[in-house]
Structures are given as C-alpha cells and as structure tokens.
C-alpha cells in the first residue's frame, strides 16, 4: 500500500501564498493586519512559540506585537490589558499564549477577548458557533487538521473518525468540525475503556492526548488516516510513528505536520479579521 505523508509545510506554504495577495489589497486600502500576542511570565517554550508566530507574521507583512507581562500579573491586570486591545481598532487579532501562571483565571481571561478578535478560537462563544457550523474562527489546531484533509482531498464524509482527547481548544472543537463535515465521530479520553478496540474501527484517527508515542500501530486497521496533533519534548508526537506508518494510508509527521499549518491558520484568521473591519 502506497503511503501518503501529509506534509504540513507544503500545506502551510499554500495557505500563506494565498494570503499574500489579500494582505496586499488590504494595505492598498490603508489596513495592515495586526496580531497582538500576550505572554504572561517567562516560560521558555511559550516564549519560543510567541517568537515563531511573530516571525511568521513578519514574513507575510502582518503587524505583530508582543505584550510581555510579568509572572506576578493578576487576573484583573491581564483583563485590563485585553480590554484595551479589544478597543484598539488597529488590532485585528488577540492571542493569549497558553498556559498562563496558575494563579490567573485563564478561562476568565480567554472569555474577555472580543469574539471578532478571537483568532485563536478560545472563547466559549466562538466554540459554540464553531460547533453549530457558523463560527468565524475555529481553534487553530483543529482548523489546521481540517485544512490538511482538504489539501490532500481526503473526504471525511461517512467515515468513522476517532479523536483521542477532549480539550476545549483541540479535542472538542475538532470533533465538532469533523461532525459538521458528516463524519461519524467518537471522542475518547482518559475514562474511555477499550481504546485499542475503538481505534480498530477508525477510518481517521486524530491524536490529541499529550502523551509521547501513545498510539500504537497494532491498534489501527489497515489504511487508517492518522493526524498527530501532539507535540512532546524531543519533537515527539502522540503516535508511535514507525508502527503507525506501517498501518496508515496517510500520516502526519512530527515535526512538520500539524504544527506549521496551525500557525498558518492563525495568520489566515488575522487576515480574515482585518478584512471584516472593511465590511462593517
């Protein structure tokens, strides 16, 4: 069986290439798409992610600003910063880098982001609209997974998709997006019994569990499409790549799979938001 490597870099480059003309037209009308990232504290991984997003913006001509708040920032101080960005007409996207220090009410901070600037799809309002099929900005990693499937002409209609993980910004929204595309969706989690038996029935597997090499090839049936949304220390995904590669008809690598497309979807949503300001 011929194996299809789902190359996220190719998909991301295709998305960004289509954005270039849209950004050029926006600038002709006096609008520069602008993304502001809020980083609270000094987590090195978060700082790296913020820098990567800033570099990606710069390469496309999107204005990128970073607000770096000290670790001792209170929830109220963070909310004030978000409210100020909500009111700034020159800001089109707001991204609060996850995770924030434990003393901050992260959910309250997410909910403070204006829906029209929630380009990372973290608000409950945005999630609800996504689940109902008319959301403006789905969470970026779920959106990336759907974009990869679309790019490689992999239809999910009528297929059995198994999502491992139920986080509010990955497992749950990607389950909703797959359901909206007429997949039959099983969402598994830490309380799921007989996970290997469930995976044996899957046509599509989305691994979003946060455990390195968790999904084993012997759990899969021949020809499964595997999308690994995990990223663990040492550039290791949530699936055991070598054993899953043997069973899969198509599979995303880690790195170079879902990750680059996630960033490209963040850029796309920022441009989408900037274009919407011209329609108001």
pLDDT in tens, 58-78: 999 999 999 999 999 999 999
Each residue of 77-129: pLDDT tens digit? 999 999 999 999 999 999 999 999 999 999 999 999 999 999 999 999 999 99
Residue 207, beta-bridge partner list: 164, 228
- The percent of residues above 90 in pLDDT, for the chain, comes to 94
Q: In whole angstroms, give the CA distance from residue 14 to residue 261.
A: 10
Q: What pLDDT was estimated at residue 2?
A: 76
6-48 pLDDT, tens digit per residue, is 999 999 999 999 999 999 999 999 999 999 999 999 988 899 8
Separation CA 230–CA 250 (nearest Å) = 16
Segment 244-267 mean pLDDT: 97
Indicate whether 280 pLDDT > 60. Answer: no
Instruction: Establish whether 66 is a catalytic residue.
Output: no
Q: Which two tokens stand for residue 222?
A: 């021949």
Query: CA-CA distance, 114 to 48, in Å (whole number)?
Result: 25
Residues 6+ apart with CB under 8 A from 150: none
Inform me whether the pLDDT recorded for 233 exceeds 90: no
| Cis peptide bond upstream of 99, omega within 30 | yes
The answer to whether 77 is a known catalytic residue is no
Over range 164-181, report the average pLDDT. Answer: 97
What is the average pLDDT value for the chain, to the nearest integer? 96
Question: What is the location of CATH 3.40.50.720 in the chain?
Answer: 140-259
- Which numeric CATH code is attached to 31-114? 3.40.50.10860
CATH 3.40.50.10860 domain locations along the chain? 31-114
Q: What are phi and psi of 103, to 5 degrees?
A: -80, -10
Where does the pLDDT of residue 226 fall: very low under 50, low under 70, confident under 90, or very high at 90 and above?
Answer: very high
Q: Is the pLDDT of residue 267 over 70?
A: yes
DSSP state of 241: H
Instruction: Report, as an integer, the average pLDDT of 132-154.
Output: 97
Contacts with 162 (C-beta within 8 Å, 6 or more apart), sequence order:
185, 186, 187, 188, 198, 199, 201, 202, 204, 205, 206
| Six token digits for residue 171 | 């497992």
Rounded CA separation 241/170 (Å)? 20
Res 45: pLDDT? 87
Set 53, 147, 159, 172: catalytic member: 53
- Per CATH, which fold does 140-259 belong to? Rossmann fold (3.40.50)
Reading the block at residue 59, the tokens are 């390469």
Residue 51: pLDDT above 60? Answer: yes
Which position among 97, 147, 159, 238 bears the catalytic label?
97
241: which 2 tokens?
A: 């790549």
- Smallest CA-to-CA distance from 150 within 15, 3, 1 is with 15
Cα–Cα distance, 50 to 56 (Å, whole number): 10
Q: Is the pLDDT of residue 1 over 80?
A: no
Find where tokens 């959301």 sit.
135
pLDDT exceeds 70 at position 258: yes
Taking CA atoms, 81 is separated from 71, 100, 201, 202, 259, in Å, by 14, 14, 47, 44, 28
Which candidate in 7, 16, 118, 120 is catalytic?
Answer: 120
Residue 120: active-site member: yes
3 state SS for 63-88 = EEEEEEECCCCCHHHHHHHHHHHHHC
């Amino acid at each position: 069986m011929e194996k299809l490597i789902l190359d996220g870099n190719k998909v991301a480059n295709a998305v960004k290439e289509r954005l270039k003309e849209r950004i050029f037209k926006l600038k002709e009308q006096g609008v520069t798409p602008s993304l502001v990232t809020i980083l609270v504290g000094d987590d090195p991984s978060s700082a790296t992610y913020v820098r990567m997003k800033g570099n990606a913006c710069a390469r496309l001509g999107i204005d990128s600003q970073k607000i770096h708040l000290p670790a001792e920032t209170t929830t109220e101080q963070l909310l004030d910063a978000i409210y100020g960005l909500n009111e700034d007409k020159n800001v089109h996207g707001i991204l609060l880098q996850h995770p924030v220090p434990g003393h901050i009410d992260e959910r309250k901070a997410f909910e403070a982001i204006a829906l029209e600037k929630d380009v990372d799809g973290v608000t409950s309002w945005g999630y609800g609209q996504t689940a109902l099929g008319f959301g403006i900005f789905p969470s970026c990693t779920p959106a990336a997974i759907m974009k990869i499937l679309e790019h490689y002409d992999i239809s999910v209609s009528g297929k059995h998709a198994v999502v491992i993980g139920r986080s509010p910004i990955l497992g749950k929204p990607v389950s909703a997006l797959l359901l909206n595309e007429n997949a039959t969706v099983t969402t598994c989690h830490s309380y799921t019994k007989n996970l290997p038996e469930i995976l044996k029935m899957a046509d599509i597997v989305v691994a979003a569990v946060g455990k390195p090499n968790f999904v084993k090839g012997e759990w899969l049936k021949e020809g499964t499409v595997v999308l690994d949304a995990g990223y663990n220390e040492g550039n290791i995904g949530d699936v055991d790549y070598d054993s899953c590669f043997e069973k899969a008809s198509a599979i995303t690598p880690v790195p170079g799979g879902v990750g680059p497309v996630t960033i490209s979807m963040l850029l796309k949503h920022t441009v989408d938001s900037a274009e919407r300001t011209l329609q108001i």
